[in-house]
Amino acid sequence: MKQMSSSHMDNIPSTPGKFKMEKSSYIQRCRHSSSVAKLTFFVFLGLILVLFFKSPSTSSLSSSSSSPYSSSSSISSDLSRRSLKTSSWGGLAWEKRVRSSARIRSRNGFSVLVTGAAGFVGTHASVALKRRGDGVLGLDNFNDYYDPALKRARQSLLERSGIYIVEGDINDAPLLKKLFELIPFTHVMHLAAQAGVRYAMENPGSYVHSNIAGFVNLLEVCKSANPQPAIVWASSSSVYGLNTKVPFSEKDRTDQPASLYAATKKAGEEIAHTYNHIYGLSLTGLRFFTVYGPWGRPDMAYFFFTRNILKGKSIPIFEAANHGTVARDFTYIDDIVKGCLGALDTAEKSTGSGGKKRAPAQLRVFNLGNTSPVPVSDLVSILERLLKVKAKRLVMKLPRNGDVQFTHANISSARREFGYKPTTDLQTGLKKFVRWYVSYYGSVKKSDQ
């Protein structure tokens, strides 16, 4: 198995402040040439618009998924509403950037398409792969489920590591086909998804668009590729739903999903079985258990609890019936990345090509958790100690919003298959998260928080 450093993000600054410095010097350089730049810009814009409305491959439909977590105020739950996102791609310069980003730089290295590369896990996994010499090309639609500025800041971080993110949607078949024409990807790390358990009740269409239609579209392109890549993709601990036997094992039945989110991830596992059976695609599903860490997702409790504590706002702490504790097997991002790379390193090749299966192919599912569930109230106590601020706790009954009372991972099969061994406890992991949070938001305007 390939070696990787303890934390792949060690020497990458976690604060956009440093980026801001670069930007400000960049802005200074631009200022003195702004008039020329403006003229050039408008000429260039005119050219682009002419080309845009002529070219066949420059637009994709994507459901607008503005949500309570995005900076935009309107919450779109109108499933039919779709915005025509112009994600322009193609051309020689674009192809050059794609090839350079995906180029393998180590012997026996991989060439990996990372979907959702501007996402939380996507960013960390992309950096880890690049640092060990793999070729990495990102794909992300930069939707506004949560603040796109955070995704853009992650994009800057990846660009500093030589990773290009193609702006596009996994539903855009012409774009995906073009990428596979350009690059013989050995692997796909499929992390693009509509995440979040509770948001499914506001915008169910976004879960179907990304987690079902998007996944099928990606698999359709992969099965026709030659060579076919091996695929590792993000499933979820939420597929265990209302199960009561703990810890959760991959052998357990998973037919009681508690949310549409969980149901779409469960459906993903069944769809994976189908494409493995018919086309010989090598597929590995990773059931992540409440992943947290620096550069995380603002829609997750550990993240907005931190924000609320610092702003003196109350924190809704869910409690089960009869004052039962609600707990999660919180898993630190560096441990998750080790699991992702372990799954990639042990993924067997797909056996088909050009849509024809030649032999049975590998089909796997693994729990990636921390094996030590922690009550949410204890998470809040850790944050209070780290932030040195008392939280305004608002204990409330677990709403019927798709949340489950507990998760707890049995990780023996991931440990056996690729030596998965989580090493970061919640206290240590939250300390690293809080350090990042304070430095990142300490350097952006208060209004952007």
Active site residues: 261
Kindly state the smallest distance separating residue 403's Cβ from ligand UGA, in Å: 4
Among 289, 295, 420, 433, which residue interacts with ligand UGA (rule: CB under 6 A)? 289
Contact between 326 and ligand UGA per CB under 6 A = yes
Instruction: Name the segment binding ligand UGA (CB under 6 A); options: 77-85, 162-170, 287-295, 416-424.
Output: 287-295
**Contacts for 237 with CB less than 8 Å, ≥ 6 apart:** 248, 287, 288, 289, 290, 329, 367, 369, 407, 409
- If the CB atoms of residues 51 and 394 are measured against ligand UGA, the closer one turns out to be 394
Q: What one-character-per-residue DSSP string does 61-102 give?
A: EEE----TBSSSS-----TT-EEEE-----SHHHHHHHHHHH
Q: E strands along 100-237, which residues? A: 111-115, 135-140, 164-167, 187-190, 230-236
Q: What one-character-per-residue DSSP string does 45-71 give?
A: HHHHHHHHHH-TTS-EEEE----TBSS
Instruction: Name the segment binding ligand UGA (CB under 6 A); options: 88-96, 207-215, 230-238, 354-362.
Output: 230-238
Instruction: Name the segment binding ligand UGA (CB under 6 A); options: 120-128, 167-175, 316-324, 416-424.
Output: 316-324
Q: In the numeric block, which tokens belong to residue 223?
A: 């099965």
Q: Tell me how many residues contact ligand UGA (CB under 6 A).
A: 20
Q: Using CB atoms within 10 A of its CB, is residue 364 exposed (0-12), middle (13-18) or buried (19+)? A: buried
Q: In the numeric block, which tokens belong to residue 10?
A: 């060690």
Kindly state the smallest distance separating residue 251's Cβ from ligand UGA, in Å: 18
Kindly state the smallest distance separating residue 182's Cβ from ligand UGA, in Å: 31
Nearest to 124 by CA among 437, 333, 330, 290: 333
Distance CA 434, CA 286 (A): 26
Q: What one-character-per-residue DSSP string does 219-261 give?
A: HHHHHHSSSPPEEEEEEEGGGGTT--SSSB-TTS-----SSHH
Contact between 318 and ligand UGA per CB under 6 A = yes
Distance CA 163, CA 142 (A): 16
Among 145, 288, 418, 420, which residue interacts with ligand UGA (rule: CB under 6 A)? 288
Among 113, 153, 376, 409, which residue interacts with ligand UGA (rule: CB under 6 A)? 376
Query: Given phi > 0 = left and psi -120 to 50 = alpha, else beta, which region is 76?
Result: beta
- If the CB atoms of residues 17 and 316 are measured against ligand UGA, the closer one turns out to be 316
Instruction: Name the segment binding ligand UGA (CB under 6 A); options: 7-15, 54-62, 213-221, 298-306.
Output: 298-306
Kindly state the smallest distance separating residue 57's Cβ from ligand UGA, in Å: 31
Cβ-contact 264, 211 below 8 angstroms: yes
The pattern of x and - marking residues 1 through 40 that bind ligand UGA according to CB under 6 A reads ----------------------------------------
Kindly state the smallest distance separating residue 190's Cβ from ligand UGA, in Å: 14
Instruction: Name the segment binding ligand UGA (CB under 6 A); options: 47-55, 111-119, 209-217, 231-239.
Output: 231-239
Residue 257 amino acid letter: P
- If the CB atoms of residues 277 and 397 are measured against ligand UGA, the closer one turns out to be 397
- Write the CA distances from 139 to 104, 142, 400, integer angstroms: 17, 9, 34
Kindly state the smallest distance separating residue 237's Cβ from ligand UGA, in Å: 4
The pattern of x and - marking residues 189 through 228 that bind ligand UGA according to CB under 6 A reads ------xxx-------------------------------
Kindly state the smallest distance separating residue 50's Cβ from ligand UGA, in Å: 42
Contact between 403 and ligand UGA per CB under 6 A = yes
Query: Given phi > 0 = left and psi -120 to 50 = alpha, else beta, which region is 334?
Result: alpha
**Contacts for 435 with CB less than 8 Å, ≥ 6 apart:** 14, 294
The footprint of ligand UGA (CB under 6 A) covers: 195-197, 236-238, 288-290, 300-302, 316-318, 326, 328, 376, 403, 407
